[in-house]
C-alpha cells in the first residue's frame, strides 16, 4: 500500500526541481512525519518530498537506525573517491542499476525546526543522501547509470502515475 502513495516513474513531479522550504510550521512537521512513516512502510531508507508530490527541498532518511530529515540540503564537500554500486528506487519499481557516487559527503541544511545542520556522512548512507538530493533536482538513477543499464531499465518501466494523485505542489 505504501508504494501506491509514492509517485512512480512517469509522474511529472519526479522530473521537477523542488523549491526551498521557507515555512517551518505544523504543516511541515506533519509532512516530515508522514514521509518518515511512508518510507518505513515501503521498506525504504530514504524518501524525497518530490516522491510524494511536494515540490519542496527536503528528504527523510535512515542513518544508523535513526530517522533523520534534511531541508534545503546542499553538498558542501565530497570525497574524491567514488564507487559504483547497484541502486534501486521507491519510484522505479523493480529497477536496479549501477550508479557512481562519492563515498563520503558533507551536507549542510536545516532541520524541521529551521536550525542549521552540518553532517558528514559516509558509506551506504552517503549513497542514500546523494540519491535523495538528486530527486530534489528532478534527477533519477536512470539518468546516472550507463547506457546499457538505462536501456534495460527503460524496457521494464512504463510510466505509472499514482491514480487519482493531486498535481505536484
Domain boundaries, the chain: 2-156
Q: Does domain 2-156 have CATH number 3.90.45.10?
A: yes
Which DSSP state fits 16? Answer: S
Place of cell 531508507: 45
pTM score, whole prediction: 0.91
- Dig out the grid coordinates for 92 from the structure: 522505479
Is 132 assigned a catalytic role?
A: yes
Instruction: Report the phi/psi class of residue 168: left, alpha or beta, with left for phi > 0 and alpha for psi in -120 to 50.
Output: beta
Which DSSP state fits 96? Answer: -
Q: Shortest CA distance to 58 belongs to which of 87, 155, 50, 26?
A: 50
Give the span between the Cα atoms of 104 and 86, in whole angstroms.
17
CB-count exposure of residue 2 (10 Å: 0-12, 13-18, 19+):
middle
Q: What pLDDT is attached to residue 157?
A: 87
Give the span between the Cα atoms of 105 and 55, in whole angstroms.
24
Q: What pLDDT is attached to residue 166?
A: 64
Q: What pLDDT is attached to residue 4?
A: 65
Q: What pLDDT is attached to residue 114?
A: 97
**64, 87, 132, 148: which is the annotated catalytic residue?**
132
Written as one string, the DSSP assignment of 130-168 is HHHHHHHTT--GGGSS-HHHHHHHHHH----PPTTPPPP
Q: What pLDDT is attached to residue 1?
A: 46
The parts of the chain modelled with pLDDT lower than 70 are 1-4, 159-168
Are 141 and 92 within 8 A, CB to CB? yes
Place of cell 526551498: 20
Amino acid at each position: 500500500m505504501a508504494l501506491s502513495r509514492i509517485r512512480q516513474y512517469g509522474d511529472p513531479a519526479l522530473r521537477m526541481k523542488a523549491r526551498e522550504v521557507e515555512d517551518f510550521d505544523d504543516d511541515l512537521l506533519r509532512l516530515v512525519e508522514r514521509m518518515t512513516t511512508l518510507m518505513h512502510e515501503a521498506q525504504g531508507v530514504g524518501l524525497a518530498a518530490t516522491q510524494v508530490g511536494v515540490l519542496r527541498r527536503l528528504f527523510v532518511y535512515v542513518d544508523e537506525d535513526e530517522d533523520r530529515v534534511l531541508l534545503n540540503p546542499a553538498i558542501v564537500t565530497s570525497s574524491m573517491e567514488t564507487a559504483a554500486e547497484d541502486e534501486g528506487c521507491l519510484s522505479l519499481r523493480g529497477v536496479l542499476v549501477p550508479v557512481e557516487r562519492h563515498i563520503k559527503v558533507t551536507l549542510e541544511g536545516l532541520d524541521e525546526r529551521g536550525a542549521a545542520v552540518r553532517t558528514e556522512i559516509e558509506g551506504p548512507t552517503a549513497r542514500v543522501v546523494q540519491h535523495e538530493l538528486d530527486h530534489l533536482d528532478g534527477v533519477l538513477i536512470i539518468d546516472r547509470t550507463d547506457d546499457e543499464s538505462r536501456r534495460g531499465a527503460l524496457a521494464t518501466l512504463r510510466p505509472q502515475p499514482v491514480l487519482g494523485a493531486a498535481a505536484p505542489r
